[in-house]
Amino acid sequence: MDTRDRRLTAPGRKTKERILVAAADLMHRHGVAGTSIPDVQAAAGVSASQVYHYFGDKQGLVLAVIQYRTDEKILGQQPLIDNLDSVAALRQWCEGAAIRLDASGCEGGCEIGSLACELVDTDPSARVEVILAFERWEDPIRSGLARMQDRGELVAEADVPALATALLAAIQGGMLLAQVRRSVTPYRHAISAVLDHIESYQLKT
């Protein structure tokens, strides 16, 4: 909770969150361009003045949605995402996403990825927020790999930042192909290739 939220009353926080949840859902289903402030009003059961009071304007609402989706993504994968310091843990984490994709029929795609595709070329402020979002997602991967290297489980030559970026790219690209093809197989292939590559840097015992 940021400083401004701490100054809100309990009903105010609930109203703000209701607006945010409604906006996030609408933007994921219809896109940012396809979501208007009146749409958000109707979905959240609030007035236009309340939306503008809490978020300033539509761009402020969009930036808040990116932050909300990032928090949701990170918190929803606890505690596993903070313990990605073995190949087995990485495989378990990635397989969890595969199971969720399969259960959804591979529809909808990644909430953060969808926002990124729509906004990064047209909205510089949103692009900054998306960069921060992916950094927050990549950081636990990088930290886990670094701990493996510190423990001597990965060779010193392993480029930990590059491997972390490669895995995140495989996750995002795999999710997109899964969405397009309505099959989790492309995601599993992409993830397996990168995880096998990471495993090749493990010191043999």
CATH of the domain at 44: 1.10.10.60
The string of pLDDT tens digits covering residues 158-171 is 999 999 999 999 99
Q: Tell me: do 87 and 46 sit in the same domain.
A: no
Query: Higher model confidence: residue 73 or residue 190?
Result: 190
* Whether the Cβ atoms of residue 182 and residue 77 lie closer than 8 Å to each other: no
Q: Is the pLDDT of residue 114 over 50?
A: yes
CATH number, residue 102: 1.10.357.10
* Whether the Cβ atoms of residue 45 and residue 104 lie closer than 8 Å to each other: no
Cα separation, 185 vs 202, in Å, equals: 26
Q: Tell me: do 114 and 18 sit in the same domain.
A: no
Domain annotation covers residue 64:
no
Domain annotation covers residue 23:
yes
Q: Tell me: do 130 and 191 sit in the same domain.
A: yes
Cα separation, 108 vs 97, in Å, equals: 13
- Number of structural domains (the chain) is 2
Q: Tell me: do 37 and 127 sit in the same domain.
A: no
The string of pLDDT tens digits covering residues 1-36 is 454 565 777 888 899 999 999 999 999 999 999 999
Domain annotation covers residue 188:
yes
Q: What predicted TM-score, i.e. pTM, was given to this entire model?
A: 0.87
Domain annotation covers residue 98:
yes
The string of pLDDT tens digits covering residues 124-177 is 999 999 999 999 999 999 999 999 999 999 999 999 999 999 999 999 999 999
Q: Tell me: do 87 and 181 sit in the same domain.
A: yes
Q: Tell me: do 82 and 174 sit in the same domain.
A: yes
In this structure, the dihedral spanned by the alpha carbons of residues 108, 114, 115 and 116, taken in order and rounded to 10 degrees, is 170
Domain annotation covers residue 24:
yes
Q: Tell me: do 123 and 190 sit in the same domain.
A: yes
Q: Tell me: do 90 and 39 sit in the same domain.
A: no
Q: Tell me: do 147 and 100 sit in the same domain.
A: yes
Q: Tell me: do 109 and 159 sit in the same domain.
A: yes
Domain annotation covers residue 45:
yes
Domain of residue 16 covers 3-56
| Bridge partners, residue 154, by sequence | 202
Q: Tell me: do 135 and 87 sit in the same domain.
A: yes
